[in-house]
Amino acid sequence: MPQAWTVKDRDGHVLACFTAASRLDVVRKLVRAHYDAFRLHVSSSYREMFDRDLAKVLAQKHWRVVRSRSKAAKWLPGEGDRRTGTAGQLGLAGTVGSADAYDRQPRVGSYQGVS
């Protein structure tokens, strides 16, 4: 079933301008400063700075990031095929700061089968 991530305000209304295929894409739209997606995956200290900025924005505006699933939901670019495990973009299911969410992607520079 297709899924998308979005932001809800304190009244439960969906803010459509913050809808994206992955949680990371949504939260990067919320934070004013530019954060590099690659560095968010490889650097825990960089991710901690991002998490602090994100927490401030969410607390100030009383917003929350939620996953929306529905039968009527449309496929978003980069969503990939969930059955085969391929995804064009980062599908982060955990919280922004959780190591589990970031460690699902293979690390750049890890060459398998090369001795």
pLDDT of res. 44:
96
Length of the chain: 115
pLDDT of res. 69:
76
Bridge-based pairing state of the strands 14-20 and 64-69:
unpaired
How far is residue 88 CA from its own chain's centroid? Answer: 13
> Which tokens sit at 21?
């295929």
pLDDT of res. 70:
58
pLDDT of res. 111:
41
User: What is the block-wise mean pLDDT of the chain (115 residues), using blocks of 10 residues?
Assistant: 87 93 93 93 96 96 88 51 46 45 44 44
pLDDT of res. 114:
45
pLDDT of res. 3:
83
Indicate the pTM of the whole model.
Answer: 0.57
At residue 43, φ and ψ (nearest 5 deg) are -120, 115
Domain ranges for the chain, please list them: 3-100
